[in-house]
Amino acid sequence: MPPYPLGGAGREAALDEKPTNDMIDSQMAEIHRVGVIGAGQMGSGIAHVCALAGFEVALNDISEERVRAGIATINGNMARQVARKAITESDRQAALARIAAADKLEDLADCDLVIETAIEKEDVKRKIFATLCPLLKEGAIVGTNTSSISITRLAAATDRPEKFIGIHFMNPVPVMELVEVIRGIATDDATYETIKAFVTRLGKKYAVAEDFPAFIVNRILLPMINEAIYTLYEGVGSVDAIDTAMKLGAHHPMGPLELADFIGLDTCLSVMQVLHEGLADSKYRPCPLLVKYVEAGWLGRKTKRGFYDYRGDKPVPTR
């Protein structure tokens, strides 16, 4: 839209003008190359599905070793898909050829879309965006995979809030069908439509969420997990009893404490803290036992101990 002076009829007309479908289509970005910041569980999963969908992918992390480990994980996961006949061997080889290591943020400069998947801490994400955005080309979209933090606040840390959006994938990314799409207050229509089309091209379904703490899935899921931890903390049931009860009594595929370990107890705590602080409601208070486990460094599967001990042949409850 052309610039208008601060006053006068031109500005009023611009404010009243509603974008038409043709206007949005003409402004939608063409996404060919996707940058992914973070080569861990979520980042490698996002790179995996993007490459299989035909996008060129640049995978970045804080060290070369982490990037190589992420690519190795993708290779292994794709090999399992081949074994299950979900994809062909030629699909796997073609997808792997589309993934390149990006050892520096500067290597993402020519990306059309960059998705950040760093740890769920707002200060860390803000620092990444402050460094990243000046490197990107004009018009590049920046997405965040945050599971709980305000999209509007994160967008304000960038030079392109209108091109910033929440793209929250579920874990494990290659398996889960849903992506939450969250607009910040400044996200423009073209960016919104571009990302909905991008998610569809990945073979996923999107659910549009408003920019409130933890969005939809975690707003419902994490308080349930937190309540399961309270149930353990208060001695109502053991780890095994709680998980068995929810698997057999509520037909959940995974018990809430097992799921917490899978997500990462540090991530669970971060989401509950965002809910508690953002909504100022005592029902979102993180369970003290969750805090204790995180303080001990027992974060779940990724550290081999959480509500279960994973160091042996089979998981054993720790309480």
Residue with the two structure tokens 């550290």: 303
Centroid of chain to Cα 239: 28
Catalytic: 180? yes
The C-alpha atoms of residue 40 and residue 43 are separated, in whole angstroms, by 5
Q: Strand 33-37 vs strand 113-116: parallel, antiparallel, or unpaired?
A: parallel
Catalytic residue, chosen from 116, 150, 168, 270, is 168
Catalytic: 276? no
Catalytic: 90? no
DSSP 160: -
110, exposed or middle or buried, with CB in 10 Å at 0-12, 13-18, 19+?
middle
Catalytic residue, chosen from 56, 120, 180, 258, is 180
Catalytic residue, chosen from 60, 218, 226, 270, is 218
Using a CB cutoff of 8 Å and minimum separation of 24, what contacts does 193-199 make?
193/24, 193/25, 193/28, 194/28, 194/29, 194/31, 194/141, 195/113, 195/141, 195/143, 195/165, 195/167, 197/28, 198/31, 198/113, 199/167
Note the helical H segments in the chain.
9-16, 21-27, 41-52, 64-83, 89-97, 122-132, 151-155, 189-201, 217-233, 239-249, 256-263, 265-279, 288-296
Please report the sign of the dihedral spanned by the C-alpha atoms of residue 213, residue 222, residue 219, residue 143.
positive
Catalytic residue, chosen from 60, 147, 150, 270, is 147
The C-alpha atoms of residue 255 and residue 244 are separated, in whole angstroms, by 7
Catalytic: 48? no
The C-alpha atoms of residue 256 and residue 194 are separated, in whole angstroms, by 35
Two structure tokens written together for 225: 């997990």
Centroid of chain to Cα 272: 16
Question: Side chain identity at 267, as an amino acid letter?
Answer: T
Q: Which residues are catalytic?
A: 147, 168, 180, 218
